[in-house]
Amino acid sequence: MTATADGPRIVALLRISAPGRDATPSARSWCSCGRDLVAFGQRKAAALIADHTRHRAACPLLTEGKEAA
């Protein structure tokens, strides 16, 4: 989330669904830079979660202003 003149706004989002037994977990990685990825299954969802973390460290929309802080 970043702050704007209008208040905070969501810039990136990671949604993880881990349903009960015998159901397929999923993950969705979204960023306002245009990223919108979805993964189904435990291994693919875990890989997308790790990729989302790397993206947060590299995306210019998310790192903007962090250097000054």
Distance CA 63, CA 12 (A): 12
The phi-psi region of residue 45 (left if phi > 0; otherwise alpha if psi is between -120 and 50; otherwise beta) is alpha
In a structure prediction context, what are the per-residue pLDDT tens digits for the chain, which is 69 residues long?
Answer: 555 567 677 889 999 999 888 899 999 999 999 999 999 999 999 999 999 999 999 998 877 655 544
Domain boundaries, the chain: 2-61
Residue 27's identity, in one-letter code, is: A
List the helix and strand counts (H, then E) for the chain: 2, 5
